[in-house]
Amino acid sequence: MPPGPRPLPQLEQINAEIFTLTYGSLVRQLIADFEDLDEVNKQLEKMGYNIGVRLVDEFLAKSKQGR
């Protein structure tokens, strides 16, 4: 195979409705737990950052690319 970019591996996809319902449930639970919307936003931001880090790590591991 000639050198060049490798194709990306196929990634699993989920139904958008399931994702929306799951995320909505998560946000609703955070609001019930913390009651302060600023704290809810901090928690969502922290969770989003951690999810992003994990996605990047998984992508790099599957694509055999270094950081």
Q: Which two tokens stand for residue 36?
A: 């302060």
CA distances from 27 to 1, 13, 24, 38 (A): 47, 22, 5, 13
Report whether pLDDT(46) > 80: yes
Rg (CA), the chain: 17
Q: Which long-range contacts (CB under 8 A, 24 or more apart) does 14-20 make?
A: none
Which of 9-13, 34-38, 44-48, 57-61 has the weakest average pLDDT? Answer: 9-13
Each residue of 16-39: pLDDT tens digit?
A: 888 899 999 999 999 999 989 999
Q: Which two tokens stand for residue 29?
A: 């639970």
